Structure 1
């Protein structure tokens, strides 16, 4: 089933302004969007619509990082250092994370997350491989493999060459060529019309 972003109607979601627990908003967003079975691209494009105020500003500042987070489930910073990055704009804002900050618990949490960093990287890698396989499977649905046997007549696509370019009315195909032998899958030795 092909998805059209133009025909997509965004469901009603509560907007997040940066106050309260951001993970709760993200969880609600993913739960609702997963019921609609939308693609990752739609998830990424629609997420800023659910934000307002300082949260929307933060999203604009870190757009590429958010896209990476949707595709692997983790941000590049977390995969490198084992902790989430704090944007400079977030330091001066009163958030729940800063209000309940405990230095001892924080250093213990950082040590635990560093111990689990390798597992986090492996999980992100598995997610990335699954996404790549899904994309390849979608792309390969449109490909029709063709096999040629020795003696088959085929046409060869003309490649662009500056020296011999004849303009846009030049033929796109040349031949016929005769297949003499298959070297490997999809690669053939050809004999021209002149021999």
Structure 2
């Protein structure tokens, strides 16, 4: 990469990028992923998507569908946020339930009901609920 030994410092960032974004045999992941928790997106991958980017997009889409498509009668858990009255402290559970899906509205909004059939007064965003597996 370097014709003149005096210009090595100009090529160093490119060499480091190549090293940090290449998967290692021992770990099976890139050093970039280990440090930052996400894969690096190289500029050329933004213009021309690589196979890795396409596969990740398909997995993200499948994950989104799996998590956020609910059916009436399905059992779910509701997330407890620190700003809610149900929050009981740092070591308390993060989810409560199970609840039954009573209505599915547009925009990812779900109306829940207690197991005895009593409907919740407020609708909940589907991001704050997850499936309950028996």
Greater helix percent: which structure?
Answer: 1
Instruction: Give the TM-score normalised by structure 1.
Output: 0.33
Decide which structure has the larger Cα Rg and report it.
Answer: 1
Query: Which structure ranks higher in relative contact order (CA pairs < 8 Å, sequence separation ≥ 6)?
Result: 2
Greater strand percent: which structure?
Answer: 2
